[in-house]
Every structure is written in structure tokens, then in C-alpha cells.
Amino acid sequence: MPFDLRDALRGLRRDPGYTATTILTLALTIGATTAIFSIINGVLLRPLAYRESHQLVALREVFVEIADRYPVLPLNGRHFEEWQGQAQTFAALAEYLPLSSNLTGTGDATKISLVKTSGGLFDVLQVAPILGRPLRADDEGRDAPDVAVIGHALWRDRFGADPAIVGKAITLDGKPHTVVGVLPPGFQLPAADRPTAAFELTTRVDAIAPLRLPTDLGWVGDFNYVAIGRLKNGVSVEQARADLAVIQGRIAKRVSEEAGQPATMRALVIPLTEAVVGGARRGLVLLMGAIVAVLLIACANLANLSLTRATVRLRDAMIKTALGASRARLVGQLLTEQLIVAGAGGALGMLVARVSLQTFVRTAPIDLPRVAEVTIDGRVMAFAAMVSIMITIVAIPSICAWPKWPQSPSAHGANTTHIIRKDVNR
């Protein structure tokens, strides 16, 4: 075992109070900051679980004349058709309607979650089924056969993960639908339970079927549909807003004609991540500030502990210097002690963080988005390691500023020799 490591362990054993206090302080600091950072990472920093998720946007409408009662509205199906046919800034657009349905025909009747969607949903999310094919635009035709893509959990639990499920029929609300695909496990669909609510990434999607709009769909009313889009490469959110603003102006004229009174319509284009996070961002930014405050307090306390201990250990330094130890050797030993303590505190801190996160996930506020994605991943581990190293480095000025550093045995004369003899006689 290297001498610095052996001497460092011996020094820590001689001062159990300092060692225990420092490790416990580190564990609580690293555990608390890592747990908080895990929440911020899972909710704010981690991209949504879609390819090129920064291109995804949530779409809503504003009817200015009734904005005092209904600040935002879901999408009108007729308006969506105009957007889909005229917008130049989107690679794909999709509208859908989350519903429930009765599944019969195989086993007991079961109520399942059903999403009726336009054919562009899989192009927007860029998600491919693990079996079969996705829904396409031609599935929306009124003469097209009834088809469905089923969820992975339903395929596993209801149909025993049958690899030959594609092409078989299931009965939804009394109508047979041919299964054309199976969703991948963990599939998430952005949804909002009311117009003003933030989007949620729901994972309970049992089946997806084509959305077929009524033939008599008007320009006024029927604001029922969730809408999302994928921007073309290089297109900004501002450009998409300007694009839809032109189309929405034409739609407003048609609404005014049908309603018999002036109407002002606007389109809201919001980055999907922002739509999901919603009002939680401000609170999480404050939490991030709390991380900085906790770290500064911990660093100050540990630096004071290190300086106090260094002053107390001046006697040991004088003895080792008299025996020929260099200043670099003494500093190396103290740094080794700091690294050992930081490693032990970091390991215990990760355990504290893991237990804290498990408790948080079980008791988190119901309106906090993406709670299920709060985990300790590689980025969180790197953050914890960085905190441990940073706290260790903070102690270096305290070590290097050790008062009255002994320079040589001759600098202390007989007094140093007396101390050495007294220590040896012990």
C-alpha cells in the first residue's frame, strides 16, 4: 500500500470525530443536491423520448372574442384540415382524440384506452411499430377498412404476445378492426385533459384507430382535438407561428361568415417540451438555485473543518518535517485524506439520493410532469462525481494555507527534538 494512502488512513482513524462529521456532511450534501438535480434533469433537461424531440410542437387555438372565458382551445377539425393543406413549415401534422372503448370478442369484455388519430401521428412522433405497420393517411378514408394498432401491454396481456397478431381482428365498440401493428413498449402520447392544462406524456395507449371527421364539420365549434406537429429541419417556432398566422387569418374570415359576427383567430405554437413542463419550470429553476446555495454552505463548512484540523495537526507536521518529510509529501497526505473522505461521502450520498428519489416519486405532486422519468442516470452520476471532486478541491486552499508551515528541523531547534522524543516515548 502506498505510504500516502497508509498514512492518510491512519490519520483518519486517529481523528474519528472529524472523519465521521465530514463523511456525514458530504453524504447529506451530495445526497440532497443529487436528488434535486435528478428531478431537474428528469423534468427539464432530459429530452422527450422521441427522435429529434426539439422539432416537436403542441398546437392550440385562441378565439380572441371569448378569450376571457376560454384562454386557449383545442383544435377544430376543419381548421386542422386547412393547416395540414396549406402550412409550409411542418414536416408532419397530426390531430387525435383520446377516448375509451369496449374490447370484446377475445376473453371478457374490457374497457381500454383508445386514441383516434389522423394518419400523420406516427410521422410526427417518428415512432415505428415493433410488428406490422403504422396508420397511414389512406386509413382515414370513409371507404377504408377499419384497422387498429394495438399497445404493447394489451398485446402481451390480452393476446399472449402472439407474433401472428397482425392481420387478426379485434372488436372495438362492437365493430371489428383488423390489427395492422403493435406499438413499442413504453410508447408515450402527449395529451391534455383540458384546454388550459399542460400536456402529459401518457403511457396507457391500448389501441390507436383512424380518425374520421364528420362530413358536416363546420368552421365554428367542435374544438375537440389534440394537435401536434413536427417542424421541418431548420425551421424555428417563430417561423411556424408566422406561417399559421396567415392561415388562421383566412380561417377567421370563414368563421366570421358562418357565425355572422367578426371573429379573430390565432394559432398557438408551443415547443412540446415547454407544453409538457408547463408551470413547473419556475419552481424547478428555484430548486436549481437551492442546489447552489446548499453547495456553497457545505463547501464553506467543510473548508473550515479542514482548516481547523490542519491547525490542530501542526504538531504532526513538525515531527514529520523533522524526520525529513517534504512539504509536498505532507500536502499529498492531506489531499489523500480528503479524497478518501470524499469517496466515502460520495458513495453514501448516492445511497441517500436513491432513497430520497424513491420517496419523492411515490409522494410527488400530481401536477408535476414527467415524474416517471426522474431517475439516476449517467448525467446524474457525473453530477454527483463533480460535486464530490469540487468539495475536495475546496479544501486545497485550506491545506495550502496551513499556518506556520514547518520548513526544516533546524527551524525549530531543540523544541522540535523534544516533541519528537516525547512522541516516540509514547
Q: How much is the pLDDT for 289? A: 85
Q: How much is the pLDDT for 79? A: 94
Q: How much is the pLDDT for 417? A: 45
From the list 286, 338, 401, 311, the residue with the least C-alpha distance to 26 is 338
From the list 392, 380, 389, the residue with the least C-alpha distance to 354 is 380
Residues 86-119: tens digit of each pLDDT: 999 999 999 999 999 999 877 788 999 999 999 8
pLDDT in single tens digits along all 426 residues of the chain: 454 566 667 666 766 777 788 888 888 888 888 888 888 888 888 888 899 999 999 999 999 988 888 888 889 999 999 999 999 999 999 999 999 999 987 778 899 999 999 989 999 999 999 999 999 999 998 889 999 999 999 999 999 999 999 999 999 999 999 999 999 998 989 887 666 667 888 878 999 999 998 877 888 878 889 999 999 999 999 999 999 999 999 999 999 998 888 899 999 999 998 888 877 777 888 888 888 888 788 777 777 777 776 666 666 666 666 656 566 666 666 777 777 787 888 888 889 888 888 888 777 766 677 877 788 888 888 888 888 777 766 655 555 555 444 554 444 444 444 444 444 444
Q: How much is the pLDDT for 278? A: 75
CA 115 to CA 206: how far, in whole Å? 8
Tell me, rounded to whole angstroms, the distance of Cα 245 from its chain centroid.
32
From the list 321, 329, 326, 341, the residue with the least C-alpha distance to 394 is 341
CA 80 to CA 59: how far, in whole Å? 10
CA 59 to CA 36: how far, in whole Å? 31
Greatest CA separation for the chain: 107
From the list 305, 312, 387, 403, the residue with the least C-alpha distance to 19 is 305
Q: How much is the pLDDT for 280? A: 77
Q: How much is the pLDDT for 129? A: 96
CA 295 to CA 29: how far, in whole Å? 7
CA 389 to CA 338: how far, in whole Å? 10
Q: Can you name the residues that pair with 116 across neighbouring β-strands?
A: 97, 209
Whole-model pTM?
0.75
The domain limits of the chain are 3-48+279-425, 53-277
Do the strands 110-117 and 90-104 form a parallel or antiparallel pair, or are they unpaired? antiparallel
